[in-house]
């Protein structure tokens, strides 16, 4: 099998339009990156990334026609092919090599590692999460993902019930499963994200622990840990629902928050989680709190 990779650079405000247009095509994987090539954490459909210029990269099967995609993108303001749109074709092995060049094993905390495909994990790795080519776009490299994974690395999940809200490719939820969680509910509004989550769960032998669903299928249930790595505005909007999902003595872990947005998000959860702690990495914030028993 061969692959077709499409890359288009657009103004931030036009990224949701590009994403929406491509979601209607037979796209296999989709990622958004900023000018510094930092993935935007598998944003949900219609969510707007926070950078002035955004590169949208999409993966298709190799027999996908190029010209209809180019014509589709011509509907986006400011897109002038070939200046802003590029297409590349890869054979299976070429794509694997390209992907591996982009995605090397990454360490989070003391012993949690994300490893591409069947690559060898370092001997020091105590917990290893493996991801497939094409299903790992935007995974692990952004500061908010790193903050969450480092928090997961420090905690024992044995027997715990976990919710990963806005799961993307399921990395956080699967990491919790690898660390011993008894059940993990992964929630996302993008069907492709749920497909990636299920595929990644199976690759990591976590399919019996992971269940995935759309927000409309999710009924508020109590969990020992609720993870939500999305953006500040939806975190504020979802505060009543996410707070209610944390059981007494349980932990809430929030990220996708810029440093200047942290107080607004903290205020939305303060009634249920007094004394939330903040950790900052490269201008991004992780907020964590414990619900009183």
pLDDT digit string, tens, across residues 171-186? 999 999 999 999 999 9
Q: Provide the 3-class DSSP secondary structure of residue 276.
A: coil
Instruction: Give yes or no for a cis peptide into 82 (omega within 30° of 0).
Output: yes
Least confident range from 12-21, 72-81, 135-144: namely 135-144
- Cβ-based burial of 87 (10 A; exposed 0-12, middle 13-18, buried ≥19): middle
Angle made by CA atoms 98, 100, 102, in degrees to the nearest 5: 75
pLDDT at 50 over 60: no
From 22, 129, 142, 43, select the one nearest 85 (Cα to Cα).
22
Q: Supply the pLDDT for residue 284.
A: 87
**What does the alpha-carbon distance between residue 32 and residue 38 come to, in Å, rounded to a whole number?**
8
pTM for this entry = 0.71
Higher-pLDDT residue of 174, 281: 174
Structural domains in the chain, sorted by start? 2-101 (3.30.70.120), 141-290 (3.40.50.150)
From 283, 278, 174, 231, select the one nearest 48 (Cα to Cα).
231
**What does the alpha-carbon distance between residue 29 and residue 193 come to, in Å, rounded to a whole number?**
9
Mean pLDDT calculated for residue range 10-16: 78
**What does the alpha-carbon distance between residue 94 and residue 102 come to, in Å, rounded to a whole number?**
12
């Amino acid at each position: 099998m061969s692959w077709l990779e499409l890359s288009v650079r657009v103004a931030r405000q036009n990224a949701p339009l590009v994403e929406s247009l491509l979601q209607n095509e037979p796209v296999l994987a989709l990622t958004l990156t900023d000018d510094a090539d930092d993935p935007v954490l598998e944003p949900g459909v219609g969510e707007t990334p926070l950078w002035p210029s955004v590169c949208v990269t999409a993966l298709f099967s190799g027999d996908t026609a190029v010209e209809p995609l180019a014509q589709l993108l011509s509907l986006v303001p400011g897109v002038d092919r070939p200046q802003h749109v590029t297409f590349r074709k890869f054979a299976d092995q070429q794509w694997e090599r390209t992907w591996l060049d982009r995605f090397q094993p990454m360490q989070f905390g003391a012993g949690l590692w994300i490893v591409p495909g069947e690559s060898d994990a370092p001997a020091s790795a105590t917990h290893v999460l493996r991801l497939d080519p094409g299903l790992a776009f935007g995974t692990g490299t952004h500061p908010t993902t790193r903050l969450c994974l480092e928090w997961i690395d420090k905690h024992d999940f044995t027997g715990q019930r976990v919710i990963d809200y806005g799961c993307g490719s399921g990395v956080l939820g699967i990491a919790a499963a690898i660390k011993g969680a008894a059940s993990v509910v992964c929630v996302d509004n993008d069907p492709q994200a749920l497909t990636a989550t299920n595929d990644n769960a199976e690759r990591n032998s976590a399919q019996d622990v992971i269940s995935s669903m759309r927000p409309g299928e999710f009924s508020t249930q109590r969990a020992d840990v609720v993870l939500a790595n999305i953006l500040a505005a939806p975190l504020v909007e979802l505060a009543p629902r996410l707070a209610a999902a944390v059981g007494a003595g349980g932990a809430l872990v929030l990220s996708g928050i810029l440093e200047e947005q942290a107080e607004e998000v903290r205020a939305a959860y303060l009634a249920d989680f007094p004394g939330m702690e903040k950790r900052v990495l490269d201008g991004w914030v992780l907020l964590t709190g414990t619900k009183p028993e």
